[in-house]
Chains A and B, each alone.
Chain A
Amino acid sequence: MRFLIPAALLVVLLVFLGIGLKRDPREVPSPLVGKPAPAFDLALLGEPQRYTQDDLKGRPVLVNFWASWCAGCRVEHPLLVKLAGEGVEIVGMDYKDTDEAARQWLQRHGNPYRRVVADVQGTAGLDWGVYGVPETFVLDANGTIVYKQIGPMTEQAWNEKIRPLLQGPKS
């Protein structure tokens, strides 16, 4: 009886610590999930016209923040190329990069992007709450953010989280 209360407290503490161990402190849940995509108006890489958040509406899109200087982007790149090959529309946001470096990188590794937006100053990144590339936002046909992948895209995240979201309620 004497030990019951401290023992119970210890169990509660252990449960909390256990949950804490499982969580990745680098993953900050985005407050933007469930909200419309933040506004931007930027130049496209290699195309004369500009691109805004309105151009992302009408169909599900992956918006992938990447850069030629980003190591994690190399990791996820083959998967993005594969997804693009399967018909998934990916818009690249070239974060704090130069057009020349980005072009060379895409030439060398393949281009999975339908469009590449040049976010040279990282202003769109700031408004989208990006704090480290790569980050990938999943947008539904209304232009609402339904999911955010922090860090490289993985097969697991795609199969278990994102694909079900995109194929979700078909009306």
Chain B
Amino acid sequence: MRLAHWGLALLLALPVLAPAQPPDAPPQTVQATLDAGQQERYRRLVHELRCLVCQNQTIADSNAPLAQDLRSQVERQIAEGRSDDEIRHYMTARYGDFVLYKPPVQRNTVFLWAGPFLLLLGALAIALRQLLRRRDAAAAPAAMPDRQALQKLLDEDRP
């Protein structure tokens, strides 16, 4: 029984333990014009920008022509000395916040960001209530009719 629980937990944790690697990740062709720090920024940025035509791929993961265009834009703008925020702004000005994998915290995304925490609070409140109720029930002795019913059940079991 215990073992089965652990097995199940392990099974559920598998996707976390081994993040899926796209089998055909396209080659990342970063020109030698970028220094090591700039290449690091390039890699981070292309992994947080969405490829709009390919649904749920970053522009780093896609070989769609648009993704290639956007990658080369990121590269060129880094080489021109633009900051990460300037590059992000360049993208959102054209494609909207949808292009960012991590949506910005603003008025229309408050619920998106706060929602999970509200759900967690709600779940904790319910769990706490249940625990308190169970403790109270355990403290109180079983009422007489219950005992009689139990005794009856035990008697029935005897041969």
Contacts and interface: CB of A to CB of B under 8 A. Distances in A.
Interface of A: 25-26, 28-32, 96, 122, 126-129, 131-132
Interface residues of B, number: 14
B29 interface: no
Contacts of B98: 28-29
Q: Is the interface of A mostly helix, strand, loop or mixed?
A: loop
Nearest to B50: A28
B66 A31 contact: no
B94 interface: yes
Contacts of B93: 31
A131 B73 CA distance: 14
B94 A132 contact: no
A127 B69 CA distance: 12
Contacts of A29: 96, 98
B52 interface: yes
Nearest to B55: A25
Nearest to B97: A31
Contacts of A127: 94
Nearest to A25: B55
A9 B97 CA distance: 28
The listed residue with most B CB atoms (<10 A of its CB), out of A122, A127, A131, is A131
26 contacts: A25-B55, A26-B53, A26-B55, A28-B52, A28-B95, A28-B96, A28-B98, A29-B96, A29-B98, A30-B95, A31-B92, A31-B93, A31-B94, A31-B95, A31-B96, A31-B97, A32-B94, A96-B65, A126-B94, A128-B94, A129-B95, A129-B96, A131-B53, A131-B66, A131-B95, A132-B52
